[in-house]
Amino acid sequence: MGSRWLELGSGYGRDLGALHERGYSASGVDVSRVGTSLARRSKLPVTESSALGFLSARPPESVDVVYSNLFFNMEFSNEDHERLFAEVHRVLVSGGYHAYSVRSVADHWYGRGRRTGPDTFDFAPRGPVLHFFSREYARRLRRERFRCVRSREEIEGKGEFPITVLYYLDEKPAARRRSRTRGPGGAVTP
């Protein structure tokens, strides 16, 4: 899968630490000052920033894998998701992977709380605003950018707080080689 990983919404670094233990060169980004401080105490490379700002400052094709766990469920608009997926595509190498999980519209928490947008609900005062994903919505975000390699839906957790999660592994298609032809005099032209 490649060794250079970037985690969006890395928080205090639980998954980032696991990636480092497995030998990956992984860095993370999160907006939480508390979370990034805790991650840095564990010597993990985390930047306190918005994901969009962080991604747009990275060079094109500089990461092998962009990973996130329930990050895209946060309070993002459809336009925010479009921009984030476009930036993930831009920073991934050709053939790189976008591995992410999101809460599904099949989740039993879907529809609870106050609706604030399409498939988005505010759980205040006891929880955050969450954007739930349908398979169709994930397909629209993927569009021509990625090819779905694998997806599955399953229930995580037990008791009062199980959640239904969609897992995706998408691949940025390898760049196509332009065909070359021989022009007059044998010169190669694109």
Classify 182 as helix, strand or coil.
strand
Task: Name the percent of the chain lying above pLDDT 90.
Answer: 84
At 28-82, the pLDDT tens digits run 999 999 999 999 999 999 999 999 999 999 999 999 999 999 999 999 999 999 9
Is there a contact between 111 and 121 (Cβ–Cβ < 8 Å)? yes
Query: Could you tell me the pLDDT band of residue 184, with boundaries at 50, 70 and 90?
Result: low
One-letter amino acid for residue 58 of the chain: R
At 10-36, the pLDDT tens digits run 999 999 999 999 999 999 999 999 999
Answer yes or no: pTM beyond 0.75.
yes
DSSP string, 47-111: EES-HHHHHHHSPTT-EEEEEEESGGGSS--HHHHHHHHHHHHHHEEEEEEEEEEEEBTTSTTTT
Q: What is the CATH number of domain 50-173?
A: 3.40.50.150
**Does residue 186 register a pLDDT over 70?**
no
The closest alpha carbon to 97, from 24, 12, 10, 178, belongs to: 24
Output the pLDDT for position 189.
Answer: 46
Q: Which element (helix H / strand E) includes 189?
A: strand 188-189
**Does residue 3 register a pLDDT over 90?**
no
Q: Where in the chain are the domains?
A: 50-173
